[in-house]
């Protein structure tokens, strides 16, 4: 068995060195599949520095000195104060391999108190920092732009408690999503969030991005599931909002400021999450459809006929499926179609749920809205079908530079956006494809080209954001704003909302040391 080191997390991989077991699929030492390691781009050429590629100016922050390093070594020890350039390569580069910072320091605290001591020191010294979880973010928020100190939550991975009666889990922010889900599964619970990056992303990263994922339509978003947050402000002050109560109307609900603020208002150290019961019966259907009108019609039928057991409704177009087949050699279970849907049901009675889904498929086939389909009930077969959907992002990276857009659109406009962009870009790109969480109105529009090309970029942006704004969509449905979209936020947020965000930022982080150059637009 060949041993490979992790490009993103380097020798410091939180889940140990990844092992190549078959093809480009990586498994960690605990045997589970690791998505951050699955990208075939392990020999990725170093991408251009963000500070060179983009017009961005370093803020008035201090430069790190030997005295600063001594402070961190005294606090954490030298094994948790990383200054080795090779080890910093992964944490400086994002998952897509398209933004790269030049941080010379990565810190690995284990406790809230250590995070507090680090931030208090950095704030006094005016040293900028970049909080980092699993580094699977897709908007350039998780890596430094210049030389910000990376504060990794990799060693903050303790589960503090699981209340089996209420279903509330309290844990540190560095727990890997999949590991946390496995942990609560022994109590018959599940984390109400599931993403293709679950093998690497951290729960703190999930909360900081308000990640959506594959089952949002069933369990809602993290503003609902997260009951409590503990976070450290830029000053080092620890804000304890770690309620485990489902209802708590005592004053302003401050935890919401940290959910989705992408590390710009505080560093999340602990979370309390409401975990639903793990479903006993799960079934998955994979449908082929001829038109997008049929997709919308099936979505409507799914809601009315499978409503109480529906747990996921996903969409894939022909180009996305072709990309997975071509680049990852995955096989579609059905004949080629212009559109595909994955419909998952989760309930407590397998016979009832299976019957319902079978009847649904029969009726859909009879109506002609679905022209081919299959249903999986065994876990391994379901996983194979899910792989086709979950690994699209990985297959796209193989083609070169990925222009990744994550947009909310009213459903009648959902696929028109892909068609219009395809026509607009013509042969200038390798691929313009669409997939996503159709049940949430969330389109992932992806455009691949051989390499980064500024001219192509200016044909895509801001056109794509103007298009979105015209139909009252959102330019970021679930990935966040990060570095890449910060100067386009006005397409989805009013002037007054942005002004209030700026006020909150300066109240909570007066020196602007927390994840600078992210979320808010440049001061013009």
Residues of this chain that bind ligand FAD (CB under 6 A) = 35, 95, 130-138, 141-142, 153, 173, 195-197, 201-202, 204-206, 208-209, 211-213, 262-263, 267-268, 393-394, 478-479, 482, 515, 518
- Binds 97, which of ligand MLT, ligand FAD, none (CB < 5 to 8 A, cut-off by type)? none
* Residue 332 or 393 with smaller CB distance to ligand MLT: 393
The verdict on 406 binding ligand MLT (CB under 6 A) reads yes
Q: Does the N-terminal peptide bond of residue 131 adopt cis geometry, omega within 30 degrees of 0? A: no
Q: Could you identify the residue written with the tokens 């998505």?
A: 35
CA distance 135 to 153: 10
Residue 518 and residue 141 in contact, taking contact as beta carbons nearer than 8 Å: yes
* Residue 149 or 445 with smaller CB distance to ligand MLT: 445
* Residue 108 or 198 with smaller CB distance to ligand MLT: 198
The helix (H) or strand (E) run that includes residue 82 is strand 81-82
Backbone angles phi, psi at 422, to 5 degrees: -60, -45
List the structure tokens of 63: 């430069």
In the complex, what is the shortest distance from the CB of residue 436 to ligand MLT, in angstroms, rounded to a whole number? Answer: 6
Q: Across the chain, which distance is largest between two alpha carbons, in Å?
A: 73
CA distance 92 to 46: 11
* Residue 175 or 298 with smaller CB distance to ligand FAD: 175
In the complex, what is the shortest distance from the CB of residue 150 to ligand FAD, in angstroms, rounded to a whole number? Answer: 9
- Binds 444, which of ligand MLT, ligand FAD, none (CB < 5 to 8 A, cut-off by type)? ligand MLT
Residue 73 and residue 81 in contact, taking contact as beta carbons nearer than 8 Å: yes
- Binds 114, which of ligand MLT, ligand FAD, none (CB < 5 to 8 A, cut-off by type)? none
CA distance 68 to 124: 11
* Residue 241 or 421 with smaller CB distance to ligand MLT: 421
Backbone angles phi, psi at 443, to 5 degrees: -95, 135
- Binds 172, which of ligand MLT, ligand FAD, none (CB < 5 to 8 A, cut-off by type)? none
| CB contact set of 51 (below 8 Å; sequence gap of 6+) | 58, 101, 102, 145, 146
Buried residues in 299-314 as b, exposed as e (16+ CB within 10 A): bebbeebbeebbbbbb
Instruction: Give the β-pairing of 19-22 and 81-82.
Output: unpaired
How many residues of this chain interact with ligand MLT, rule: CB under 6 A?
5
CA distance 275 to 113: 27
* Residue 404 or 486 with smaller CB distance to ligand MLT: 404
In the complex, what is the shortest distance from the CB of residue 303 to ligand FAD, in angstroms, rounded to a whole number? Answer: 20
Cα within 13 Å of Cα(504), Cβ side: 16
Task: State which of residues 196, 288, 400, 439 lies at the interface with ligand MLT (CB under 6 A).
Answer: 196
Residue closest to ligand MLT, measured at CB? 393
In the complex, what is the shortest distance from the CB of residue 193 to ligand MLT, in angstroms, rounded to a whole number? Answer: 12
Task: State which of residues 132, 393, 448, 515 lies at the interface with ligand MLT (CB under 6 A).
Answer: 393
In the complex, what is the shortest distance from the CB of residue 323 to ligand MLT, in angstroms, rounded to a whole number? Answer: 11
Each residue 420-449 as x (binds ligand MLT by CB under 6 A) or -, in order, gives ------------------------x-----
CA distance 486 to 467: 17
Q: Could you identify the residue written with the tokens 């982080």?
A: 509
- By CB under 6 A, the residues from 224 to 243 that bind ligand MLT are none
* Residue 108 or 444 with smaller CB distance to ligand MLT: 444
In the complex, what is the shortest distance from the CB of residue 416 to ligand FAD, in angstroms, rounded to a whole number? Answer: 23
* Residue 412 or 510 with smaller CB distance to ligand FAD: 510
The verdict on 312 binding ligand MLT (CB under 6 A) reads no
In the complex, what is the shortest distance from the CB of residue 68 to ligand FAD, in angstroms, rounded to a whole number? Answer: 20
> Where in 275-387 does DSSP place strands (E)?
281-289, 310-317, 339-347, 372-376
In the complex, what is the shortest distance from the CB of residue 315 to ligand FAD, in angstroms, rounded to a whole number? Answer: 13
Cα within 13 Å of Cα(198), Cβ side: 22
3-state secondary structure 178-225: HHHHHHHHCCCECCCCCCCCCCCCEHHHHHHHCCCCCCHHHHCCHHHH
CA distance 471 to 461: 16
- Binds 283, which of ligand FAD, ligand MLT, none (CB < 5 to 8 A, cut-off by type)? none
Q: In what order do the strands lie in the sheet with 372-376?
A: 372-376, 281-289, 339-347, 310-317, 431-437, 442-449, 401-408
* Residue 208 or 346 with smaller CB distance to ligand FAD: 208
In the complex, what is the shortest distance from the CB of residue 122 to ligand FAD, in angstroms, rounded to a whole number? Answer: 14
CA distance 257 to 266: 9
* Residue 310 or 438 with smaller CB distance to ligand MLT: 438
* Residue 71 or 299 with smaller CB distance to ligand MLT: 299
In the complex, what is the shortest distance from the CB of residue 174 to ligand FAD, in angstroms, rounded to a whole number? Answer: 7
* Residue 424 or 493 with smaller CB distance to ligand FAD: 493
Q: Which residues pair with 352 in a beta bridge?
A: none
Residue closest to ligand FAD, measured at CB? 205
- For helices 66-76 and 112-125, what crossing angle results, to 10°? 170
List the structure tokens of 462: 């801001």
In the complex, what is the shortest distance from the CB of residue 506 to ligand FAD, in angstroms, rounded to a whole number? Answer: 18
Which residues bind to ligand MLT, rule: CB under 6 A? 196, 392-393, 406, 444
């Amino acid at each position: 068995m060949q041993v490979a080191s992790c490009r993103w997390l380097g020798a410091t991989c939180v889940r140990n060195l990844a092992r190549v077991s078959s093809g480009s699929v990586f498994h960690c030492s605990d045997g589970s599949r690791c998505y951050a390691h699955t990208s075939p781009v392990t020999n990725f050429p170093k991408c251009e520095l963000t500070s060179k590629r983009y017009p961005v100016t370093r803020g008035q922050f201090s430069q790190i000195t030997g005295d600063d390093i001594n402070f961190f070594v005294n606090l954490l020890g030298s094994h948790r104060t990383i200054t080795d350039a090779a080890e910093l390569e992964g944490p400086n580069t994002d998952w897509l391999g398209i933004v790269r910072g030049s941080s010379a320091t990565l810190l690995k605290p284990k406790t809230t108190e250590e995070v507090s001591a680090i931030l208090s020191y950095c704030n006094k010294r005016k040293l900028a920092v970049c909080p980092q979880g699993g580094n699977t973010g897709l908007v350039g928020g998780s890596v430094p732009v210049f030389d910000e100190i990376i504060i990794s939550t990799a060693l903050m991975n303790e589960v503090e408690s699981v209340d089996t009666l209420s279903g509330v889990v309290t844990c540190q922010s560095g727990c890997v999503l999949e590991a946390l889900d496995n942990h609560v599964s022994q109590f018959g619970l599940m984390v109400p969030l599931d993403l293709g990056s679950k093998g690497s992303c951290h729960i703190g990263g999930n909360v900081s991005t308000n990640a959506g994922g594959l089952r949002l339509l069933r369990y809602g978003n993290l503003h609902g599931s997260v009951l409590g947050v503990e976070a450290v402000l830029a000053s080092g002050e620890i804000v304890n909002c770690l309620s485990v109560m489902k209802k708590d109307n005592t004053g302003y609900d401050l935890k919401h400021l940290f959910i989705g603020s992408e590390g710009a208002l505080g560093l999340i150290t602990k979370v309390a999450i409401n975990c639903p019961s793990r479903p006993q019966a799960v079934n998955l259907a994979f449908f082929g459809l001829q038109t997008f009108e049929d997709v919308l019609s099936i979505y409507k039928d799914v809601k009315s006929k499978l409503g109480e057991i529906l747990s996921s409704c996903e969409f894939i177009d022909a180009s996305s499926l072709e990309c997975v087949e071509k680049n990852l050699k995955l096989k579609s279970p059905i004949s080629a179609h212009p559109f595909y849907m994955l419909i998952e049901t989760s309930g407590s009675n397998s016979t009832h749920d299976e019957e319902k889904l079978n009847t649904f498929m029969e009726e859909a086939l009879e109506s002609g809205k679905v022209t081919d389909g299959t249903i999986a009930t065994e876990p391994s077969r379901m996983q194979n079908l899910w792989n086709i959907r979950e690994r699209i992002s990985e297959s796209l990276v193989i083609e070169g530079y990925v222009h990744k857009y994550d947009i909310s659109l009213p459903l009648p406009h959902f696929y028109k956006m892909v068609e219009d962009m395809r026509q607009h870009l013509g042969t200038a790109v390798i691929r313009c494809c669409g997939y996503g969480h159709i049940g949430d109105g969330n389109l992932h529009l992806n455009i691949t080209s051989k390499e980064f090309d500024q001219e192509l970029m200016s044909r895509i942006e801001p056109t794509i954001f103007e298009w979105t704004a015209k139909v009252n969509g959102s330019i970021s449905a679930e990935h966040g704003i990060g570095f890449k979209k910060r100067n386009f936020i006005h397409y989805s947020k009013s002037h007054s909302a942005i002004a209030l965000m700026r006020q909150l930022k300066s109240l909570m982080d007066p020196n602007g040391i927390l994840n600078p150059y992210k979320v808010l637009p440049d001061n013009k």
